[in-house]
Amino acid sequence: MRRLCEAFLELPHVHDAPARWCAELNVSERTLARLFRRGIGLSFSQWRQRACILHSLHHLAAGMPVTRVAALLGYDNPAAYTAAFGRLLGRPPTAYRTPNASG
């Protein structure tokens, strides 16, 4: 599971299916859910979303537009990304964006 988590953190995608992880680990979705709860203290979907949002901070700080960051992480639209970001960090992604940084 650690290998999968590390690979995900390199290239996160908000819609990465738990079924793919289950197939890789040869476990059921219930077992995967238990592994995440016991090992991390979050559900798989909570962890996946947090990993995506935290990964996005690097891109925002580099000046990447919010629309592009949202697409990179697989969000259906920028509004969905902005809502998830705000729920987790309490501020919009634009608050973390450096407007004059070169992307």
Tell me the three state secondary structure of residue 36: helix
Q: What is the pLDDT of residues 22-53, one digit of tens each?
A: 999 999 999 999 999 999 999 999 999 999 99
Interatomic CA distance for residues 5 and 94, integer angstroms: 27
103: confidence class by pLDDT, cuts 50, 70, 90: very low
Domains of the chain, earliest start first? 2-96 (1.10.10.60)
pTM of the model: 0.89
Q: What is the pLDDT of residues 18-29, one digit of tens each?
A: 999 999 999 999
Interatomic CA distance for residues 55 and 19, integer angstroms: 22
